[in-house]
Amino acid sequence: MNQLNQSVSATKDPGPAVEVLIPYLRQALVPTLGALFGEGFALSVARPQGNLNYTYLVMPSGSSIPSAVLKVKNRTEFEHPITRKLSAPYEKEKVVLDYCTSAKLPVSSVIGAVIHLSKTVKGAGPFVCLLQRFIAGTNGRVIAAHRTEAELSLLARAGAVAREIHQIRFSRFGDVVSRSGDFTKSWGAYLDNLFKFPLRTIAGFLNGQDFDTFSERFKELRNLKGQGVLVHADLHLGNMLFDAVTKELTGVIDWERSRSSRSSEEFARILYENFVLGQRFTVTEIAETISSSGVTPQFANFLSGYGIGPEEYQSSLRRETETFLALFCAGFWTRWELEYKVIRPDWAAPAQYAQQVVRSVLGRG
């Protein structure tokens, strides 16, 4: 009989404890997985990927290498006030991975359809599951320490794979490729939905002139026309897997934010990870970078891998990118001031970074 082995690590997930799900998953999923993999497998609880997922590894009998990854979300996580805006249904991720697989990008292929489980466990259901092929590799943040040659090399590889991803094009921004998720929204609706909170709240944190500049920069984005490209929208080294010995890229994971957008959004999210969430630069460095070249050595390597130089970036992409960056940071900064101080006081430092980014971008005009 299939066993559900437990190797549970600590999690801050807003949903039920992993242990609570074990009896339900054993009952509800083992028959489905048995039909796909036969009786000779076990489920092993893995470390959750990010804030939203429970992740299980499908382990063949007698093997230490998983054959598949089962990602599980529940309704409570979709509706949690911190993470609900970051969440997207697995139906969209499946469509995106199918696109990427057909384009021979280094992604995990989806095994079968998205699995819907309607039973509720202590009010946390229903559950949605996505079964993917397992990709062996170590995430880039583990391999490369900050400000090292190894990090610069991996960032160049990140730029190269971003360019490959952006070769998947759509006739316009927001093209419909799935019945659920952000792809069904038009460009204007997508931006309005993504940034309605910072647009509504930032006026209380900026003086009149800065607020007017902020609003004008948003309108510039909203009025853009043209062809859309596929963006991963969370392409940092933690979501890129590498061979620990050869440093070759083995896969790109976590496609839940992906959509049809501008390449500048991808660049902005990479800077957002470094400047704000990663806290890898001092506040002074952030201000100096944005007020001068706009390119750190790390970002320069990413751009080099992408195939564009700093001059081309500054002339054609910088304004768009920094507008996206200011909008992302404004949302984080104002949410922390209004909501997160109580529930996530450990985010105080990233909130300060975000504030400096907003003011530095607006200071450039």
pLDDT value of position 176: 65
pLDDT value of position 56: 80
Q: What number of other Cβ atoms are within 10 A of residue 288's Cβ? A: 14
- Strands 41-46 and 4-5, sheet pairing: parallel
> Taking 60 as the threshold, does the pLDDT of residue 180 lie above it?
no
**Residue 312 to residue 300: CA distance in whole angstroms:** 11
At the topology level of CATH, where does 138-363 sit?
Aminoglycoside 3'-phosphotransferase; Chain: A, domain 2 (3.90.1200)
Angle at 27 between CA 26 and CA 32, to 5 degrees: 85
> Taking 90 as the threshold, does the pLDDT of residue 249 lie above it?
yes
Across 220-233, average pLDDT: 90
pLDDT value of position 47: 58
One fold for 4-133 and 138-363: no
> Taking 90 as the threshold, does the pLDDT of residue 223 lie above it?
yes
Average pLDDT, the chain: 80
pLDDT in tens, 190-202: 899 889 999 999 9
Tell me which amino acid residue 175 is. Answer: D
Residue ranges per structural domain of the chain:
4-133, 138-363
Q: What number of other Cβ atoms are within 10 A of residue 199's Cβ? A: 19
Q: Give the architecture (CATH level 2) of 4-133.
A: 2-Layer Sandwich (3.30)
- What is the length of the chain? 365
- pTM assigned to the model: 0.83
> Taking 90 as the threshold, does the pLDDT of residue 35 lie above it?
no
Distance of CA 269 to the CA centre of its chain: 9
Per-residue exposure over 22-60, b if at least 16 CB sit within 10 Å of its own CB, e if not: bebbeebbbeebeeebeeebbbbbbebbeebbbbbbbbe
pLDDT in tens, 312-363: 998 999 999 999 999 999 999 999 999 889 888 988 989 988 998 999 899 8
And the tokens for 173? Answer: 């921004």
Share of the chain above pLDDT 70, in %: 80
pLDDT value of position 86: 44
pLDDT value of position 228: 87
And the tokens for 281? Answer: 């630069």
Angle at 9 between CA 3 and CA 272, to 5 degrees: 130
> Taking 60 as the threshold, does the pLDDT of residue 252 lie above it?
yes
Across 125-134, average pLDDT: 83
- Of residues 132 and 85, the one with the higher pLDDT is 132
> Taking 50 as the threshold, does the pLDDT of residue 213 lie above it?
yes
- Strands 169-170 and 138-139, sheet pairing: unpaired
